Amino acid sequence: MRLADTCTIHTGYTARGRLEPLAAGGVLAIQLRDISPEGRIDPDRLTRVQLEDLADRYFVRAGDVLFRSRGDRNTASALDERLQEPALAVLPLMVLRPNRDVVTPEYLAWAINQPPAQRHFDAAARGTNIRMIPRSSLDNLDLDVPDIETQEKIVAVDALAERERALSQLAAETRKQMISLILVERANRTSPTIGMERTSK
């Protein structure tokens, strides 16, 4: 199924220059830099900006999906209930609003991030210094879209696998630190003896 048949697609807001942050007021803005390499968005870290007369299509809410159309990582992120107010999506972010009768936001983001979709973007990428994905490539992305129940199961299994990977990485890092501490302690214990032997010679 074509991506364009599963959701409505809009470009983000085109900023005319740098967006100056506000301490209060204005509107929340989501920029490319607000998305972590893992595709996570923390609403508590978003900045506010002062802009007037903005079209509603530029605003995202929980249940929408953001796609990074520029850069080395052309991945998607689903917005969850932690986003408690509409936020302005700024180009090069693209707004995907899923048809909930067809696809869930979480599955849509997951499917876009999988190797088949990424190979599609690799073939369509434009630009030499800065990689860009054209809108037509996004529209025509072919996705496998099972029934909603199957989508939810796939997303749940993927979340468990991701948690397992994170725990395994944490365990490996902890083990490495413990081994390093043991070796440093052993080096400290043997150091005076080595020094005395050299002095006696």
Cα 100 versus chain centre, distance: 21
Between 167 and 154, residue with greater pLDDT: 154
Instruction: Looking at the structure, tell me whether residues 138 and 151 fall in a common domain.
Output: no
How long, in residues, is the chain?
201
Instruction: Looking at the structure, tell me whether residues 20 and 69 fall in a common domain.
Output: yes
DSSP H helix total and E strand total for the chain: 4, 9
Instruction: Looking at the structure, tell me whether residues 37 and 127 fall in a common domain.
Output: yes
Kindly write down the DSSP assignment for every residue of 160-187, as one continuous string. HHHHHHHHHHHHHHHHHHHHHHHHHHHH
Band (161; pLDDT cuts 50, 70, 90): confident
In the chain, the percentage of residues whose pLDDT exceeds 90 is: 63
Band (106; pLDDT cuts 50, 70, 90): very high
Instruction: Looking at the structure, tell me whether residues 94 and 123 fall in a common domain.
Output: yes
Instruction: Looking at the structure, tell me whether residues 139 and 157 fall in a common domain.
Output: no
Confidence check: pLDDT of 94 > 80: yes
- Count structural domains, the chain: 2
Average pLDDT over residues 64-74: 93
Average pLDDT over residues 4-21: 90
Instruction: Looking at the structure, tell me whether residues 88 and 154 fall in a common domain.
Output: no
Instruction: Looking at the structure, tell me whether residues 97 and 152 fall in a common domain.
Output: no
> Which domain covers residue 167, as residue numbers?
146-201
Omega of the bond leading into 192 within 30 degrees of 0 (cis): no
Instruction: Looking at the structure, tell me whether residues 107 and 151 fall in a common domain.
Output: no
Confidence check: pLDDT of 23 > 80: no
Helix axes 105-112, 148-200, angle to 10 degrees: 60
The least confident of 41-50, 88-97, 143-152, 167-176 is 167-176
Using the structure block, give the residue that is written with the tokens 């929340």. 28
Task: Indicate if the alpha-carbon torsion angle 157, 159, 163, 169 is positive or negative.
Answer: positive
Contact in structure between 6 and 102 (CB atoms under 8 Å): yes
Domain boundary among 122, 145, 168: 145
The phi and psi torsions of 12 (rounded to 5 degrees) equal: -75, 180
Q: How far is CA 8 from CA 34, 64, 113, in A?
A: 23, 10, 18
Q: How far is CA 131 from CA 76, 126, 135, in A?
A: 16, 6, 13
Instruction: Looking at the structure, tell me whether residues 115 and 166 fall in a common domain.
Output: no
Instruction: Looking at the structure, tell me whether residues 45 and 129 fall in a common domain.
Output: yes
Q: What does the pLDDT read at residue 61?
A: 96
Report the CATH number that the domain containing residue 79 is assigned in CATH. Answer: 3.90.220.20
Largest interatomic CA distance in the chain:
84
Domain boundary among 145, 166, 188: 145
Instruction: Looking at the structure, tell me whether residues 88 and 98 fall in a common domain.
Output: yes
- Token pair, residue 9, equals 């697609």
Between 4 and 175, residue with greater pLDDT: 4
Instruction: Looking at the structure, tell me whether residues 72 and 156 fall in a common domain.
Output: no
